[in-house]
Amino acid sequence: MIMKGKKGLIVGLANNKSIAYGIAKACSEQGAELAFTYLNDALKKRVEPIAKEFDAGDYVYELDVSNEEQMAAIADKIAKDFGKIDFLVHSVAFAPKEALSEPFMKTTKEAFRVAMDISVYSLIDLTNRLESVLSDNASILTLSYLGGPKYVANYNVMGVAKAALESTVRYMAVDLGTKGQRVNAISAGPIKTLAAAGIGDFSQILKWNEANAPLKRNVTIEEVGNSAMYLLSDLASGVTGEVHYVDSGYNVMGMAAVEKNDEGKTVLCWDVK
């Protein structure tokens, strides 16, 4: 199995509909041993059963990336219970509700700070905190979205945060490359997750992606998980600083797709059914 003998920490799992769950499943099926974090008591009830599903019931840790005490303690807990880890999955993003529902130009300084701190700086901070337990050839993976490099309606300040996250991946890749450690991102297509529920008109985004992507469908957490497993494994030992798209090809489109109407005429897919 590709990941046999590898240990990894999954940060930001919310439930079994999460992209992080798809990644955990793919890695586990290929032999990886896993540890998990949960944000708070409400999510603990969801994460603990998932951890048991992957035989990781003893390796579940509370971690709010904005909590200094928890961040300061995470490396020692991992070292004591789990030992060195070979990969880290950063599935953490947040912006205040009003920053997603109001026009982008109404974003407050505090909302901007929170979005950047939780969604971007936490990757840098967490990697630094785990330095003592990350193996020399560790692979670090974070999750992005097309709303970073391109405009996506209602994504607002999270788009700016994802753009910063992708740039962070490149700069981290250079700094950590001297250690042999790799840093990459996956830009997944829209998937109905807990995080996506905060994006306005998300159902329309799903329909539009399905209608206009080259594969004419949306992706699943299993498909994203398989791509993530590749990037986390030794199969991708020569890959770092990359943003890998798993979106049925939607990112290559320069305009809406075309199709034939009932009269045989070519029309743009504006009216998404």
Q: Find, among 36, 32, 38, 100, the residue nearest to 67 by Cα.
A: 38
Which helix (H) or strand (E) element contains residue 101?
Answer: helix 97-101
Among this protein's residues, is 155 annotated catalytic? yes
145 has catalytic annotation: yes
**Rounded Cα gap, residues 87 and 91, in angstroms:** 13
Structure tokens at 210: 């399905």
Catalytic residue, candidates 21, 59, 61, 155 = 155
Residue at token pair 């840093």 = 183
Antiparallel, parallel or unpaired: β 134-144 and 182-188: parallel
Tokens 């497993």, residue located: 229
Order across the sheet with 134-144: list the strands.
60-62, 33-38, 7-11, 85-90, 134-144, 182-188, 243-246
Q: How far is CA 20 from the centre of its chain?
A: 7
Q: Which of 145, 230, 245, 250 is catalytic?
A: 145
Cα–Cα dist 201/196, whole Å: 10
85 phi and psi angles, rounded to 5 deg? -120, 145
DSSP string covering 44-59: HHHHHHHHHHTT-TT-
| Nearby residues of 124 by Cβ (< 8 Å), 6 or more positions away | 168, 172
Bridge partners for 241 per DSSP: none
The answer to whether 36 and 116 are in contact (CB under 8 A) is no
Residue matched to tokens 């003893």: 58
Catalytic residue positions, numbered = 145, 155
